[in-house]
Homo-oligomer: A and B are copies of this chain.
Amino acid sequence: MLRNRLIDAARRMKPILCGVQSLRSLSQGAPSKLTTIEVDDKSGIATLSMNQPPVNTLTMELMHDLIDSINQIESNRSRGLILTSSNDKVFSAGLDLNELLNPEVERFKLFWTRFQDLWLALHLCGIPTAAAINGHAPAAGCVLATACEYRVMLPDLSIGIHATRFSFVISKWMMHSYQSVLPRRIVERALNQGKLFATQEALEVGLVDEVSSSKEEALSKCAAFVATFDKANPLARSLTKRMCRDPDVRDLLKDRSADLKDCVDYVTSSHFQEGLCNHLKGLKNRK
């Protein structure tokens, strides 16, 4: 049941995730434009950098390139994947809120489906994953970090899913991503508050595993984490990770359109549009 279902599930998963690729033709093997991949020849670890100025907002294009890069790193049998940012102030600012403001429904459906794809690609990535969080990681930036297996963060930054602050209600799978890292009581309170954890707080509750003083050190700590799997058989490790994460993805994989419909209905409600509008005005006034 378990292990074979897992293998089957893994097989079935790929086409779902790769569907997005048809939208953009990719030069074979070449790094895509909004992400860069550097593979360390010695360790075999691939560092995947988000590289969309100014703040790595998760636009349709950046998400496309991230999914493509994750798939590429996974299929190249790299020893591990480290997610980081080319920008030393922001890891990722989260989803492009402009896609949520008065959205054209068909486009928004593509946008949300791509975010599902991105999370699934990272959360279920067959190789060891770690995040070197060298800048702020609010909202979907935090979701990407929690989809990794390990998190190293630089000081004086913030991380958390602050969706309630802009009237958004996250999907259940985003909650599962948080709960895979933090205890139930902490998750509920943080989600309800829309809490952004300072680096030190994040370390204390376990949202990040280590704090490092530089990006270089963060990358090196992430590489040390990847090396902790050296004695594990890679396929057995991959199937075991899949078993542990199966409860997080089960509902979404069983019925992706349900999450999509629900999200469309909520995002197009006047309640949310008003809340988002006020939030965006507040951000503008602060500038």
**Residues on A facing B (Cβ under 8 Å):** 1-6, 128, 149-150, 163-172, 175, 179-185, 187-189, 191-195, 206, 228-229, 231-233, 235-237, 239-241, 243-245, 255, 258-259, 261-263, 265-266, 271-272, 275
Contact = CB atoms under 8 A, between A and B. Distances in A.
A233 B165 contact: yes
Contact of A192 (B169, B180, B182, B229): B229
A195 B237 CA distance: 12
Contacts of A187: 244
Given A2-B169, A167-B235, A192-B240, 11 more contacts: A1-B262, A2-B171, A2-B262, A3-B262, A4-B266, A164-B236, A180-B184, A184-B244, A193-B231, A194-B232, A236-B275
Contact of A172 (B206, B243, B275): B243
Contacts of A271: 235
B180 A259 contact: no
A235, A258, A259, most chain B CB atoms within 10 A: A235
12 contacts: A4-B266, A163-B240, A170-B243, A175-B244, A180-B185, A185-B206, A191-B244, A192-B232, A192-B237, A192-B240, A193-B228, A236-B275
Nearest to A167: B233
Contact of A2 (B188, B229, B243, B259): B259
- Number of this chain's copies in the assembly equals 3
Contacts of A235: 167, 271, 275
A182 B206 CA distance: 14
A203 to B, nearest CB: 14
B163 A236 contact: yes
Contacts of A189: 149-150
Contacts of A168: 236
A151 to B, nearest CB: 10
A244 B271 CA distance: 21
A175 B2 CA distance: 12
A275 B169 contact: no
Contacts of A184: 179-180, 244
B1 A261 contact: yes
B5 A262 contact: yes
Contacts of A232: 164-165, 192-194
Contacts of A128: 192
Contact of A265 (B4, B150, B180, B240): B4
B188 A233 contact: no
